[in-house]
């Protein structure tokens, strides 16, 4: 019996894990190894994902655990790509909506990746090729009839910029029409959504022959004991994503003054790149880059995610549950976690209620500890579901009924798979 081989093809590296998408790719690799797979990687640098180089941290991680391949991007002959960060682009997209989709859906896939992938599959015979994001999926054309192809979507890109513009965010990134996204995704036998709401979108979009599943929670739990010396501390850890900045401003303007009025000794601890955007009037403790997230969350009585909107699964909410910390969040911050309502988190969009929930947790350690235990139980159950889907993606065999309840899922965690 041999261990199945999975090749991950990704436009972002796994390290440093300072962005949510990099963390997702790393968690996917770790999860595949946990269920008994060998994992190799092909990282493809393409312009929309920014300039990056393979830093020592990434090389050190992969050198002993996988074969590392790096394919540089160059423009496909005859392809024209839209300026991605142009304010004019955003305004035109908002004006013309779905009509303004001039971006060629396969335009970011380097021409040499397909032949390289075909050669790789002929020599290495992987059980599965997993694409992170759909934009490199055209490279699957030479292999999709003989090798299982899975796409981890990360997000719904159909009219993505229009949805963000509707929230008042003047930002532009990769944006597709429904037809373009459908064409990219239907190269796969299985499409992985990052939350259940997006799974429903993809099911409606794609041919029924394409399996659609959700993998939301992948990282192992890192349960922390109740904080003993942190005092009444509220924690927020995030990147410089405009939604994080907007959410923190909302919290600082409308909820934090109410909290301080009732708990004068309350502290607000902010970590990550969002720290650079904290208003000095908040009096927050800003810690900047966080190398050890367990240390950061260990200093917090509770975690907030005042996210006002956006797309995809909210990593900040997941991390709070992962570290067994009670969470106070908005409806958008809990998006993708329907079973989490009442299980380790308070969900509210009203700033007064948001503040009151924080106050209750700061003043009642027993309540905070009880919700922390619920968060840990919920996290373990959801992760077991995700590992079951991962096993199905590799073997084609379903290992559990759809979306079982969190209780009783522990038997799925850590089990191994093999192929003859």
Q: pLDDT by residue (tens digit) across 374-385?
A: 999 999 989 999
**Confidence at residue 136, expressed as pLDDT on a 0 to 100 scale:** 93
pLDDT for 269 beyond 70: yes
If residue 286 lies in a helix (H) or strand (E), which one and from where to where?
strand 285-288
> Which range has the top average pLDDT, 88-97, 173-182, 334-343?
173-182
Q: How confident is the model at residue 63 (pLDDT cuts 50, 70, 90)?
A: confident
**Confidence at residue 69, expressed as pLDDT on a 0 to 100 scale:** 66
Correct CATH for 233-376 of 3.40.50.300, 3.40.140.10, 3.40.50.2000, 3.40.50.12160: 3.40.50.2000
CA distances in angstroms from 90 to 95, 173, 175, listed in the order given: 9, 9, 10
Q: How many residues in the chain?
A: 420
pLDDT for 405 beyond 70: no
Task: Determine if residue 220 is left, alpha or beta; phi over 0 gives left, psi from -120 to 50 gives alpha, anything else beta.
Answer: beta
Higher pLDDT among residues 262 and 341, named by residue? 262
* pTM for the full predicted model: 0.79
pLDDT for 265 beyond 80: yes
**Confidence at residue 420, expressed as pLDDT on a 0 to 100 scale:** 28
**Confidence at residue 98, expressed as pLDDT on a 0 to 100 scale:** 43
**Confidence at residue 102, expressed as pLDDT on a 0 to 100 scale:** 45
**Confidence at residue 311, expressed as pLDDT on a 0 to 100 scale:** 56
Task: Give CATH for domain 5-214.
Answer: 3.40.50
**Confidence at residue 62, expressed as pLDDT on a 0 to 100 scale:** 87
Per cent of the chain over pLDDT 90 is 57
Average pLDDT taken over every residue of the chain: 83
Q: Which of the residue ranges 32-41, 231-240, 287-296, 398-407 would you say has the lowest mean pLDDT?
A: 398-407
Contact criterion met (CB below 8 Å) for 317 and 345: yes
**pLDDT tens digits for range 331-341:** 888 877 755 45
| Domain boundary assignment for the chain | 5-214, 233-376
If residue 10 lies in a helix (H) or strand (E), which one and from where to where?
strand 5-10
Residues 300-324 have a mean pLDDT of 85
Residues 35-56 have a mean pLDDT of 85
5-214 and 233-376 in the same fold: yes
Q: How confident is the model at residue 66 (pLDDT cuts 50, 70, 90)?
A: low
How many Å apart are CA 278 and CA 284, to the nearest integer? 8
pLDDT for 145 beyond 70: yes
Q: How confident is the model at residue 185 (pLDDT cuts 50, 70, 90)?
A: very high
Q: How confident is the model at residue 154 (pLDDT cuts 50, 70, 90)?
A: very high
**Confidence at residue 81, expressed as pLDDT on a 0 to 100 scale:** 42
pLDDT for 189 beyond 70: yes
Contacts of 391 (CB under 8 A, 6+ apart): 35, 397, 399, 415, 417
Query: In sequence order, what DSSP letters do the residues of 60-103 get, joined into one string?
Result: HHHHTTS-EEEEE--PPTT-----SS-HHHHHHHHHHGGG---S
**Confidence at residue 93, expressed as pLDDT on a 0 to 100 scale:** 46
129 SS3 class: strand
How many Å apart are CA 199 and CA 127, to the nearest integer? 24
């Amino acid at each position: 019996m041999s261990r199945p081989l999975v090749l991950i093809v990704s436009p972002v590296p796994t390290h440093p894990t300072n962005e949510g998408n990099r963390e997702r790719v790393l968690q996917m690799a770790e999860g595949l190894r946990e269920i008994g797979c060998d994992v190799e990687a092909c990282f493809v640098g393409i312009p929309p994902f920014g300039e990056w180089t393979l830093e020592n941290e990434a090389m050190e991680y992969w050198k002993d655990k996988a074969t590392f391949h790096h394919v540089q991007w160059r423009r496909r002959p005859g392809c024209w790509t839209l300026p991605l960060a142009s304010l004019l682009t955003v305004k035109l997209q908002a004006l013309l909506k779905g009509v303004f989709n001039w971006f060629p859906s396969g335009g970011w896939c380097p021409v040499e990746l397909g032949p390289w992938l075909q050669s790789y599959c002929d020599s290495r015979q992987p059980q599965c090729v997993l694409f992170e994001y759909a934009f490199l999926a055209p490279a699957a054309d030479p292999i999709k009839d003989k090798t299982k192809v899975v796409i981890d979507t990360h997000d719904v890109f159909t009219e993505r910029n229009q949805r963000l513009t509707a929230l008042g965010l003047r930002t532009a990134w990769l944006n597709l029409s429904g037809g373009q996204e459908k064409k990219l995704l239907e190269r796969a036998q299985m499409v992985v959504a990052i939350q259940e709401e997006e799974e429903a979108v993809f099911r409606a979009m794609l041919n029924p022959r394409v399996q659609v599943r959700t993998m939301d929670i992948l990282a192992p739990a890192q349960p922390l004991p109740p904080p003993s010396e942190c005092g009444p501390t509220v924690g927020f850890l995030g990147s410089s994503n405009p939604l994080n900045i907007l959410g923190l401003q909302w919290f600082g303007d409308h909820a934090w003054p109410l909290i301080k009025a009732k708990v004068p000794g309350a502290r607000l601890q902010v970590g990550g790149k969002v720290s650079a955007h904290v208003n000095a009037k908040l009096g927050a403790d800003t810690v900047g880059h966080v190398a050890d997230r367990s240390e950061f969350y260990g200093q917090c009585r509770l975690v907030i995610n005042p996210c006002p909107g956006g797309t995809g699964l909210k990593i900040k909410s997941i991390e709070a549950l992962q570290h067994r910390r009670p969470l106070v969040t908005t409806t958008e911050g809990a998006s993708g976690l329907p079973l989490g309502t009442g299980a380790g988190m308070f969900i509210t969009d009203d700033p007064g209620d948001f503040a009151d929930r924080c106050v209750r947790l700061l003043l009642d350690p027993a309540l905070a500890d009880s919700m922390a235990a619920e968060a840990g139980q919920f996290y373990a159950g959801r992760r077991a579901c995700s590992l079951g889907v991962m096993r199905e993606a590799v073997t084609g065999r379903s290992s559990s009924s759809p979306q079982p309840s969190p209780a009783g899922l522990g038997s799925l965690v850590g089990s191994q798979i093999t192929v003859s």
